[in-house]
Structure 1
């Protein structure tokens, strides 16, 4: 069965290559057309940095699909786009994923993809090198992998991602990554950075690396409505007489099972759940738990978010992971905080707070101390 599947994939890839070679429209042209269409749909105007990224991706995709092996020069294994938050990295990569004339392509997000990889690894438990077997299974069904928000903050992620990237490159999978960091700044923790250095060297040697930074944060212009941020709220008042309070008929104080462990909810009503910040972030919660919540609920209400520079790095990382997962999943989020987002997520407290702050800024702000703001919110909700 494995041989038949591999052969079928090889035939499919050969057909894709032949169709590309005989097509009048190159992958690079398809990408530019897709990019321009998406710009027009949003009313955006491209900056020079984004156009440079589109040109590079188009050239790489054309070479990747039509490449011929050479003893003198190996083709680039992929493209690594990095830059500040809101510069359009994901926008450009999503255009590439849509335009690539391939069936075997995937666009994945960091946390969901790692959860999938860990599940695959467990399926090969007891066999020699389960991670390599899992990575080869992924490579067998994927020709192009678009990996959004590539970052490394703990030793588990470092070991998984490092070996995965090597296997994918060895198997000929094209990998396109977006990141807030240049390759040299990945895995900054000195305790295990040495173990990730071979992956950094692999990216530098085998990938086209481009900084995408036109100097403008487009998320500030976003019209996406993915929830509210209410402030200032105290811990003892967040669930009483505030916009975040559960309705009278909601179930109160219940415990559900999430990935075989209990999780206490303040309240639940249909597809909405209310949670305390402490329950969500101060305990031993994983990204898999946050993925589960976003899969089972359409709206999550969380309070009260404290000033995070007063929390431990583990609590900060859980909150960042939760915001990333909620944002990417499309769940509606309502947060209550002791202060404004820029105060809760001070620059320098955590290396990824810039991304989190940018996403919190896209929540509708409700200043509880501002009567006019509160009244307009109540009118909108009624």
Structure 2
């Protein structure tokens, strides 16, 4: 597989590819490990910058507890001279809806412990790492950290969930602290710890080690579950993309086809050097495997704060009603919330260029 040059800090002025479909990134396993750091979108996230909504006391309570956890990890209890028992590592799980600040809090925890002593990634990124390095090399690499953060823990693939449960068990046995997040569906927010019960059931042997922290609230992005924002005219999308050296411009169908030829673990590298993504003829996605690839791309775009310009039907009806009721619905709702926020940023870019 051929690869495009990966822009480095010394070459940031190099023009980004004109099209994402022209890029076939080659990502060595070492980069997958090196990329396990807080995403750019949350580079400035700290406990001090989290604004707990007083209407939802659980937000402030979770913030306070995580500050305690950070102190526990940074300065673990000292073992007595005659103690044979290994100190129990902290393990916390944040459960709540979309956009309530869970990733901000998780990233703040990583920063408080120290980025050099933490690994931060999504569930998918850790499963990709195991696939690239092998199970025990992944354990050895992560066991060197004090804290492993898993954002968006997923329960929709039994094999991956079992793999992750085994990985986390190996890490906790070695004294590594854990912190994870997941999402409760909007319609399940009134059902108590709906997602938390699923999580604890699936991780089985680890369940007793995890402390569940509920984070209530509304989506801070202030978007409906399915956005109703207007797409941009195709000519506007093309003109704005042509005016920037860091922009890419792709036909939506061509991009979807290209994503099928690139492993999802490389989607982050696909965006190296890209500051704006423009897509024309956006329309509803009918095939599940294609939609799931698009979800991963949206997550990588959001991590990197890359605005998007969309023409066609836009993001409003991107996924079918059947998908939004199916087993992967959490992923789709998250993608809609995030893509809507990035599209709003894209509209701001377009207005400034007008």
TM-score, reference length from structure 1: 0.62
RMSD: 3.7
The alpha carbon displacement at 1:110 in A equals 3.8
- Who is 1:275 aligned against? 250
1:243 aligns with 2:232: no
CA distance in 1, matches of 2:246, 2:241: 16
Residues 169 and 206 of structure 2 are in contact (CA less than 8 Å); yes or no, is this contact kept in structure 1? no
CA distance in 2, matches of 1:377, 1:330: 13
The alpha carbon displacement at 1:365 in A equals 4.9
Match of 2:334 among 355, 358, 361: 355
Match of 1:295 among 272, 287, 311: 272
- Who is 2:303 aligned against? 328
Relative to structure 1, is the Cα distance of residues 93 and 99 closer, same or farther in structure 2, using a 3 angstrom cutoff? same
Q: How does 1:332-347 map to 2 (within 5 A)?
A: 332-339=307-314, 341=316, 344=319, 346=321, 347=324
The alpha carbon displacement at 1:297 in A equals 2.5
The alpha carbon displacement at 1:303 in A equals 3.1
CA distance in 2, matches of 1:248, 1:332: 11
Please give the secondary structure, in 1, of the residue aligned with 2:236.
coil
* Structure label with greater radius of gyration: 1
- Larger RCO (CA under 8 A, 6+ residues apart): 2
CA distance in 1, matches of 2:98, 2:240: 36
Report the number of matched residues. 283
Q: How does 1:97-116 map to 2 (within 5 A)?
A: 97-100=110-113, 103-116=116-129
Residues 86 and 219 of structure 1 are in contact (CA less than 8 Å); yes or no, is this contact kept in structure 2? yes
Relative to structure 1, is the Cα distance of residues 63 and 339 closer, same or farther in structure 2, using a 3 angstrom cutoff? closer
CA distance in 2, matches of 1:115, 1:78: 22
1:314 aligns with 2:296: no
CA distance in 2, matches of 1:248, 1:144: 40
Please give the secondary structure, in 2, of the residue aligned with 1:95.
helix
The answer to which structure has the higher strand fraction is 1
Residues 276 and 302 of structure 1 are in contact (CA less than 8 Å); yes or no, is this contact kept in structure 2? yes
Match of 1:150 among 153, 159, 169: 153
1:92 aligns with 2:115: no
1:66 aligns with 2:76: yes
State which drifts further: 167-176 or 131-140: 131-140
Relative to structure 1, is the Cα distance of residues 289 and 81 closer, same or farther in structure 2, using a 3 angstrom cutoff? same
